[in-house]
A and B are shown apart, each in its own frame.
Chain A
Amino acid sequence: MTWIPFVLIAAVAVFFALYLVLSKNAVHGALSLVLVLVSLAIFFLLLGAEFIFIVQVAVYAGAIMVLFLFVMMLLNVGGAEGPLRENPSWQLAAAIVLGCVLLFEAALHIARAGEGVRHFPQAIAADFGSPERIGQLLFSSYLLPFEITSLVLLAAMIGAVVLALRRFP
């Protein structure tokens, strides 16, 4: 019976992902992106990773808030105007090709890992996905990527400050 919540949430996620792409209104798009990411977060909850669920909600919700502000302040405030009409024809072709490649890749992975997925290990460690485990992993096996990420974020922050401080003529 575990598939019922999965299918429900997946349907919600796919619906709002489609709405995000097809919506002509930037704010509606951002709002449906929130719902897509919240439903992805619920997948983590279904997998027993409560910590990642909360991080997904907190981090992405905050980030999309900034997107909202961009939409309101930089794009037309009304938001309900027509779509941005600058789709070169090669964009469509590229999207279809890349989408097919991605689909093929996913299919390949599912076919190869199919056995593993069906024989889901019944016994998950009690502390799976707990903050302690994630913290230990971050500061041992994944220390280098973790530090590099923080450096990149620091660089981005300094860049933002420099841009904001520049005196425009």
Chain B
Amino acid sequence: MSNTTFDWIASLIKAVIIFVVLLQLVPVLIWLERKVVARMQQRIGPNRVGPFGLLQPLADAVKLMAKENIIPTGVDKLVYYLAPVISIVPALAAFAVVPFGEPIHVAGRVVYLQVAHVNIGILYVLALSSLAVYGITLAGWSSNNKYSLLGGLRASAQMISYEIPVGLTVVAVVLLAGSLDLLDIVNQQVKQGIWNIGPQFIGFLLFVVASNAELNRAPFDMAEAESELVAGFHTEYTGFRFAMFFMGEYVNMVTTSALATVMYLGGWHGFGPDVWYLNLIWFILKIFAFIIFYMWVRASWPRIRYDQLMGFGWKVMIPAALLNLAATAVVIVVAKERATLWLTAVNIALFVVFLAVLRLVNSRQLEQHRQVVPQPDAVRG
């Protein structure tokens, strides 16, 4: 068997495994999200179908597939059919470059534990996530519905805006690693002795917030804000086409979590012996930690207003990400070998200052509020 044939077969097997696992994760995540959010809101969540409601997603899937497909009048048929496909394909394809383990040796050949080992992996993920917005925008436009269109327009403006801070925080990580290869980024974190969440803590926070907005998840789910836009871009979608939007959203969530794990949390490295199956477990644990965090955010925060969202993106996120990038570059050039140490110290100091300022502002606002609205004696105690 020649080397090329071997590579082809290995890639094919890996691609099929990733594809199946990602798609099978979707029902699991939907169940998990419903359960987690329910617990946080003092409800029980799905509990009728199967033990702990575990079969609920299966029932939902059957329901969605058996549903009548309604196509509203006046839709642009081609684009209307295409939009759900466009929203799920980039989500699945983006995972192709995410490494989930050290390269292993099989029969004297190196097998990378990622579908494709490309030396510009991180740019590939960014490029595909910039394609993800097409699905939502085209769905909103083709549905021939004002609410859908508004949702689509909102989503595109929001995702274009929040792509910039995501890109800028990624560039800061790339500066630290000196490579666009996701494998190198992981290895560099091990070499520098501390995961990038240390020297890039501010960047990590910015990335988490911006990626949440790019995923269109609450509190940034302006595209489907049901209190304003019925259901936003997917108002006119029924049955399996609606399910495809859902799948795209959840697969995107997994991919973003995996990217955050690789960039900031040392990828598959953890405590204990360095064997590939333990590494895989670490990697999955970290991804799920991120996903649960996103669910937690969704359960805790109300949806913010659209103008607040855009103002926050352009006036806070982008300047902060730019400053973070500039500071990182300067420290790397000036401090050279000790850059990691300095960056970690500065980041933690800045974060503490930030928390202190936030607390001060909050308490002052609370004070003003108390002066304006006199509290009844019973409450004051």
Contacts and interface: CB of A to CB of B under 8 A. Distances in A.
A68 B131 contact: no
A131 B153 contact: no
Contacts of A66: 160
Interface residues of B, number: 26
Nearest to B118: A50
A93 B54 CA distance: 68
A108 interface: no
A43 interface: no
A65 B133 contact: yes
Interface stretch (A3-11, A69-77, A114-122): A69-77
A159 interface: no
Given A50-B120, A79-B76, A80-B76, A62 B160 contact: yes
Interface in A100-151: 130-131
B123 A77 contact: no
A65 B137 contact: yes
B153 A72 contact: yes
B127 A58 contact: yes
A61 B138 CA distance: 14
B141 A61 contact: no
Given A66-B160, A69-B156, A54 B134 contact: no
Nearest to A58: B127
B78 interface: yes
Given A65-B133, A65-B137, A73 B124 contact: no
Interface in B131-184: 131, 133-134, 137-138, 141, 149, 152-153, 156-157, 160, 163, 180
A24 interface: no
Contact of B160 (A34, A65, A72): A65
Contacts of A34: 134
A17 interface: no
B130 interface: yes
B76 A57 contact: no
B119 interface: yes
B65 interface: no
B79 interface: yes
Interface in B99-141: 118-120, 123-124, 126-128, 130-131, 133-134, 137-138, 141
Nearest to B179: A131
30 contacts: A25-B76, A27-B79, A27-B138, A27-B141, A28-B79, A34-B134, A51-B120, A57-B128, A57-B131, A58-B123, A58-B126, A58-B127, A58-B130, A61-B131, A62-B130, A62-B163, A65-B134, A65-B160, A66-B160, A68-B138, A68-B141, A68-B156, A69-B156, A72-B141, A72-B152, A73-B153, A77-B149, A79-B76, A130-B119, A131-B120
Given A61-B134, A62-B160, A65-B137, 12 more contacts: A25-B76, A27-B76, A58-B126, A65-B133, A65-B156, A65-B160, A68-B137, A68-B156, A69-B157, A72-B153, A77-B149, A79-B141
